[in-house]
Amino acid sequence: MLVFLLACVVSFVPFAALYLWLRNRRKGDIAYKTLCNKALGRGALCVLPVMLFSGVSYIALRLTGLHNTDKLLYQALYNFIVLALMEELAKYLGFRHVLKKSSYPFSWLDMTVLMTIIGIGFGAIESVIYAIGASIPVVLVRGICMPHAGYGFLVGYFYGKSVRTGKPALKGLGFILSWFIHGLYDFSLSEEFVAINDNLVIVALLLALLDIVLVFRLIRFVKKAEKNEICTQPLLHHQEV
């Protein structure tokens, strides 16, 4: 039990470290830090509607009897629609709420960071939920990979780029990419997916690696963007969201 609790604590270190690094990159900007705190809280709160929808959808899908007729299709629907789509949608709406409720002059970099932080908040709370009954390796992998931070980076990056370039389609691209990767990752972990072929376990491993790569891409983008006026130029006020 002590080892498991230690693993849980260790799994939160990457979440905390990434959040503090993003939040403290502007030491004298109190408004920015306040926004980061709000984004973290908003991301954590997004877990509630997702849990409610997941519970209702689970019951509804069961009542249809789909889980008995085609288990693979049932898992695909559940992972891509009930879980991945609703989680990404909840986080996206939370992100839009943060933008609308602030008069802060958001830049491309700011939007990327805030959406990532929303993902961190959501992922941290979700990790607590998934830790119940999970094994130590699963707890540690979720902490190291930080998938929701990577998905948040994709959405925020393309949202900011959309505003910067005036191409609305980029907002949809970021959302679809995060949803598809998220859904495929969840689906690849299901027994029904692996049952198709034992070699398919590599899909989950590759997607977990992709999650880590996305976090490193985020860090690289933030470091380079801070020196680039295109990425730090104020683009968006709350009236324009």
pLDDT for residue 103 is more than 90:
no
pLDDT digits (tens, 9 = 90+) for 25-58: 888 889 999 999 999 999 999 999 999 988 888 7
- Give residue 23's pLDDT: 96
- Give residue 238's pLDDT: 46
**CA pair distance 137, 132, nearest whole angstrom:** 13
**Cα Rg of the chain, angstroms:** 18
Band of residue 240 on the pLDDT scale cut at 50, 70, 90: low
Mean pLDDT of the chain: 89
CA nearest to 192, candidates 85, 67, 87: 67
* Contact yes or no for 122/74 (Cβ under 8 A): no
pLDDT for residue 239 is more than 50:
no
For residue 161, the Cα-to-chain-centroid distance in whole angstroms is: 18
Spell out the domain ranges in the chain. 2-236
**CA pair distance 78, 90, nearest whole angstrom:** 16
- Give residue 142's pLDDT: 76
